[in-house]
Amino acid sequence: PQLANQIAAGEVVERPASVVKELLENSLDAGADRIEIDIEKGGHKRIRLKDNGAGIAKDELQLALSRHATSKISTLDDLERILSLGFRGEALASISSVSRLTLTSKTESQSEAWQAYCEGREMAVNIQPAAHPKGTTIDVADLFYNTPARRKFLRAEKTEFQHIEDVVKRIALSYPHASFILKHNGKTTKRYIADKHGSLASRIAAVVGQKFIDNAVHINVEYEGITMNAWLGSEVMLRSSNDCQFSFVNGRGMRDKLIMHAIRQAYESVWGVLEQPSFVVYLTLDPKDVDVNVHPAKHEVRFQQGRLVHDFICKTVCDALHSITN
């Protein structure tokens, strides 16, 4: 089973940032609204997440670390359902197969916390009592220590940490009600603290910059069941910021070609060719009209009616840009 886990790890765990993404999603799934992320040496040495979510019960610690895929498949229907869910249930097993993983957790009803330690190939899980408030801490040390080929592909500390920051920004932009604190080598690099309303505008200001929000056009438009809530960088911003392109579909960060193309086309048609338009765009549509699991790691979606979505985005952005140009 460890070999299977390591093969799966090759797909889920590409680099430290992908570990951070999986762990953040788990914390948010568990209802956490405060997450601290500690990174050492770009994540090569250590990735530690502490959350205040529901926690994992003592007798479920081991289960959380094992791959549930096989036990779930009994019919072809099941198989299709699982494939469509992508890597469901594989993240922790995959990460633990290529690192030294410690899981510490306490649920509301438990009087004490428990800790599970699991190291690479053997998958022998050792469980003992520990001290921890309600919630979970996952400590991933020495990523890829047992897969040298993969370790070789790790870039410089700084590059890997930048990828981690990107992941944290993206997720912080989809969860304005949660607070995120990111540290690198003991120093706090990002602090996104939710205000009491979980305001999206103030989260965008924190992540992208107050200047962006102050100069951006805000639109919130609905058409044929598609809602587009967006902040579009005004012309002044365009030359100064080039790493500010965020799009979300039903709350999930996406780097979808169709969306990017529609927005870029709109900017180009109004302002001519430019380097990098800046935008934060949230699309909401009926989940049955969009498949977000085309490839979980690639951030792409498949729209039932791609043309309609594309033209709606393009026209909406055009109109908004025209309104501030005139």
Which residues are at the interface with ligand ADP (CB under 6 A)?
22, 26-27, 30, 51, 53-56, 64, 88-93, 136
Whose CB is nearest to Mg ion?
91
From the list ligand ADP, Mg ion, none, pick the one residue 88 interacts with, judged by a Cβ distance below 5 to 8 Å according to partner type: ligand ADP
With a CB cutoff of 8 Å and minimum separation 6, the contacts of 319 are: none
In 3D, which of 259, 7, 20, 258 has the Cα closest to residue 150?
A: 7
Stretch that binds Mg ion, among 57-65, 86-94, 198-206, 309-317 (CB under 5 A): 86-94
CB of 12 closer than 8 Å to CB of 93: no
| Apex 48 CA angle, 4 and 36, nearest 5 | 135
Cβ closest to ligand ADP, residue 105 vs residue 316: 105
Binding mask 135-164 for Mg ion (x = CB under 5 A): ------------------------------
CA 30 to chain centre: 14
- Work out whether 91 is an interface residue with Mg ion (CB under 5 A): yes
CB of 102 closer than 8 Å to CB of 139: yes
Cβ closest to Mg ion, residue 56 vs residue 313: 56
- What is the spatial distance between Cα 47 and Cα 118, in angstroms, rounded to a whole number? 15
Total residues interacting with Mg ion, rule: CB under 5 A: 2
From the list Mg ion, ligand ADP, none, pick the one residue 64 interacts with, judged by a Cβ distance below 5 to 8 Å according to partner type: ligand ADP
Binding mask 242-281 for Mg ion (x = CB under 5 A): ----------------------------------------
- What is the spatial distance between Cα 179 and Cα 14, in angstroms, rounded to a whole number? 26
- Work out whether 54 is an interface residue with Mg ion (CB under 5 A): no
Task: List the interface residues with Mg ion, window 13-42 (CB under 5 A).
Answer: 26
CB of 55 to ligand ADP, least distance (A): 6
3-state class of 123 per DSSP? Answer: coil
Q: Which two tokens stand for residue 74?
A: 């009994």
In total, the chain counts a number of residues equal to 326
CB of 251 to Mg ion, least distance (A): 16
List residues binding Mg ion (CB under 5 A): 26, 91
